[in-house]
Structure 1
Amino acid sequence: MSPAVRSPVAGVVVALDDVPDPVFSGRIVGPGVAVNPEYTAEGGSAALAPVSGTVAKIHPHAYVITAAGGRSVLVHLGLDTVSLEGRGFTVLAAEGEAVSAGQPVITWSPAQIKAGGLNPIVSVIALEGEESALAPVPTGQRVAAGDPLMTWA
């Protein structure tokens, strides 16, 4: 059985080819899938751990969780959001902390990201993974936060 990588946010699945950033669409950091997040104007939502493991790296706009066995998954919240220097993000976990799949890692507001002129799309990347080892859910499918997003054989 292939381990499931779960969606960190609710939204609609988007192929990496359709992410308007060459770092992700070009698979420079690795293969994966993206989610166009659902959001309301009222406020923030949690971005969840896609797998159980250890927080290997965390920034306000992105984090890496390394699962048992050494596989690491990058979650990147929005495009060019590093330029926000942490504004609009609340980090809930620390590097080295053990987390469970589905546990909130960061809260953020996709609506604020969009209102600020940035794209809130969330890229979920299998670091050092092979494209052929991934089986993502179909593009255009709606997923809830915590739903299986792809398997990594």
Structure 2
Amino acid sequence: MTIVTAPLAGRAIGLEAVPDPVFAGAMVGPGTAIDPVREPSVAVSPVDGVVVSLHPHAFVVVDPDGHGVLTHLGIDTVQLNGEGFELHVNKGDTVQRGQAVISWDPAAVEAAGKSPVCPVVALEAAPEALSAVVADGDVKTGDALFSWEKA
């Protein structure tokens, strides 16, 4: 079983509250979302693993069980063309849970007219594979967000 932890601090709101139909409908996969604190912060890896996809606004880490976890920093933030985001790792790097991946400023994202809400998604997972999903309440970086049963 994989425990997926919060890549940043804020308030858990659940995927259905994400202002994007693809995430809200769990079309990418099940999980939860965090409405982040509005201050410059660092998004960290939610699991131990390898960075298989890395963009200024999003990253995927695949753990040793083959579980891919997507952290998406804000909604429609790809339109910011990387402005305001700083990468701390490279695609292909092995990372540890809690390791810095991307620095960003949720308040600046909001000021640019984008939602800073951050989906944290279990890619290609069946909804029933997830348990103990945190969909409300305050979370700190590193708090457990959900458990993912090994396939």
TM-score, normalised via structure 1 length: 0.94
Q: Corresponding residue for 1:31?
A: 30
Tell me the CA shift for residue 138 of structure 1: 3.6
Q: Corresponding residue for 1:9?
A: 8
Q: Corresponding residue for 2:91?
A: 95
* Large movers: runs of 4+ above 4 Å: none
Tell me the CA shift for residue 141 of structure 1: 1.4
Q: Corresponding residue for 1:75?
A: 71
Q: RMSD over aligned Cα, in angstroms?
A: 1.0
Contact 2:49 2:63 in 1 (8 A): yes
Unaligned runs of 5+ in 1: none
Give the letter for the 2:143 counterpart: D
Higher mean C-alpha displacement, 136-145 vs 21-30: 136-145
Give the letter for the 2:20 counterpart: D
SS in 2 for 1:82: helix
Q: Corresponding residue for 2:60?
A: 64
Tell me the CA shift for residue 121 of structure 1: 0.3
Unaligned runs of 5+ in 2: none
Looking at structure 1, the residues matched to 5 and 87 of structure 2 have their Cα atoms a distance apart, in angstroms, of 19
Q: Corresponding residue for 1:51?
A: 47
Give the letter for the 1:30 counterpart: G
Tell me the CA shift for residue 108 of structure 1: 0.3
1:124 aligns with 2:123: no
- Percent identity, aligned pairs only, is 44
Q: Corresponding residue for 1:20?
A: 19
Contact 1:33 1:136 in 2 (8 A): no
Q: Corresponding residue for 2:82?
A: 86
Looking at structure 1, the residues matched to 67 and 6 of structure 2 have their Cα atoms a distance apart, in angstroms, of 16
